Amino acid sequence: NAGVTQTPKFQVLKTGQSMTLQCAQDMNHNSMYWYRQDPGMGLRLIYYSASEGTTDKGEVPNGYNVSRLNKREFSLRLESAAPSQTSVYFCARGQGVTGELFFGEGSRLTVL
């Protein structure tokens, strides 16, 4: 989706491997989010960032780290991947804390 670019779109990892999901927005929005989506579980918030240089934990932060080095980019890192982290990951940007969210196309991660 134009506006939020996620890379990679697909990734297969082995248990214990690490990787970083990248997200970049083309607007100047302060808020950025990482969600994971599992069948029947809806969207669960992993981490969010209300502004450049700040991050906060969401509902399911364990096993993840994030980095918001500048306003445009918000990355999600898995230090030691586990099969339970197999999911579709969505990055989103938003205007302010309560503004509408605009989602990227998603990154499908499989951990074997």
Partner 1 sequence: QQPVQSPQAVILREGEDAVINCSSSKALYSVHWYRQKHGEAPIFLMILLKGGEQKGHDKISASFNEKKQQSSLYLTASQLSYSGTYFCGTTLLFSSGSARQLTFGSGTQLTVLP
Contact residues for partner 1, defined by CB under 8 A: 1, 33, 35, 40-45, 48, 56, 58-59, 90, 94, 97-106
Nearer of residues 80 and 84 to partner 1, judged by Cβ: 84
Nearer of residues 34 and 81 to partner 1, judged by Cβ: 34
Token reading at 23: 């997200």
Rg of the chain (C-alpha set): 13
Residue 69 Cβ vs partner 1, minimum distance, rounded to whole Å: 21
Q: How far apart are CA 13 and CA 29, in angstroms?
A: 32
Nearer of residues 35 and 74 to partner 1, judged by Cβ: 35
The CB density around residue 94, as the number of other CB atoms within 10 Å, is 20
Residue 5 Cβ vs partner 1, minimum distance, rounded to whole Å: 12
Residue 14 Cβ vs partner 1, minimum distance, rounded to whole Å: 25
Token reading at 109: 């991660």
Residue 18 Cβ vs partner 1, minimum distance, rounded to whole Å: 25
The CB density around residue 27, as the number of other CB atoms within 10 Å, is 13
Nearer of residues 19 and 101 to partner 1, judged by Cβ: 101
Cα–Cα nearest to 23, from 11, 32, 12, 10: 32
